[in-house]
Structure 1
């Protein structure tokens, strides 16, 4: 296959159930998507087209070929690279309340030990504007970059909040957009993907054990290793997203959300609702 043979790309957003969407689509034998996120047009473009093509091994010429890399939505230059390589590709963006998305992204990196516990350093617009967490929710300006390059009919924009309400309907919407048989019913992935309530090794201990990771990796499925891991893994305690910080983030995202709502013709006022209580990690899972 050639790069131009790719039919669709899920471009983001991160922490918006795009892995659920990918795994649901992969249950259809007429759809082929490589498992990992390739991030070719964002982080690995220097590897070249030959490397990118080698990541795709479709079973035959009849399948619909796609990939998912959440970094494509908010990485400068990714849209232009995709347009040059796959000018007729279909694009899928699944978006989430930007405050919840940023908090979930922070929790993921905290769980990995990549960020500290001072949540304001990463999420307070007074200090963190321009950083990864807040930039990831500037959807309207990110989509506008793509719409300046691709026809509007080549893009499907969805909301994460519609998934728990009616996952099959969300999946059917994507299938119609891709031209797949609407009558073919697929059971959406039922288990929560990347659940951050699952016990993990603490960030501090993870850093201490990091040098041993290459040695232990081949034995991760070993019952003894799994047993040892379960003994030291704990559910992570996250810093709550307090009311004051939450309201600052609402103010930060309000102009973007308003423009996005007009573009989608959707009422996104629920994204901008102030809260009077502390927002804990399970509310923004």
Structure 2
């Protein structure tokens, strides 16, 4: 088996009884299991009785705040530790939510998980395959995501110019029309939960995350800081939004470290309470 990168637990303080000082450099499978325990989601208390929905966002940024590298994708600024957390968060989700622009730029395809995570995923109450949901106003979705036995769930609005073509192409349970002129993200999350997909992992891009944060729909933000600076006009992880009034506050749940990479988990539900 390959060796996993050392992940030091910086916060909560490792001297707290029962807290490990690090997710040791064990083999891949052992560390991935430990990460699933570290990132196990908690249902948000704001949904009302009977709702198990949790919306988490996973993003990466450079030290100078860029959400991508000069090639406009995240692959040039991430690394082994970030990939560990990336896979673990996917293993704990029912559905990955992504904007169509990001799906095109990052070349999304049907989602799968490493074999080491499949059984552990089942043990965490996620027996079904991981789904992909793509948000689009235009209906411009990569052809590869509309093919196969398990095409992506396409989320759009009634004004979408390609709506009829999508209706002809996709099964009814693979198309969500949420909103008239623009995509209603709250209605989107309701529709996904109604389809048995309450654990949502938003992977961007920055415009989609901006819309979710503006609407106070994100429960947790998992943010990786890459120890790089890239300059240029790269977007931040939240883009295209007006000033948030009031600014959203966050509570740090944990902070991990590996080879200069910092991996934070932030609870945004305090902000949602203030906005309610």
TM-score under structure 1 normalisation? 0.29
In our comparison, the structure showing a higher alpha carbon Rg is: 1
TM-score under structure 2 normalisation? 0.30
Structure showing greater relative contact order (alpha-carbon pairs closer than 8 Å, 6 or more residues apart)? 2
Structure with the largest fraction of strand: 2
Structure with the largest fraction of helix: 1
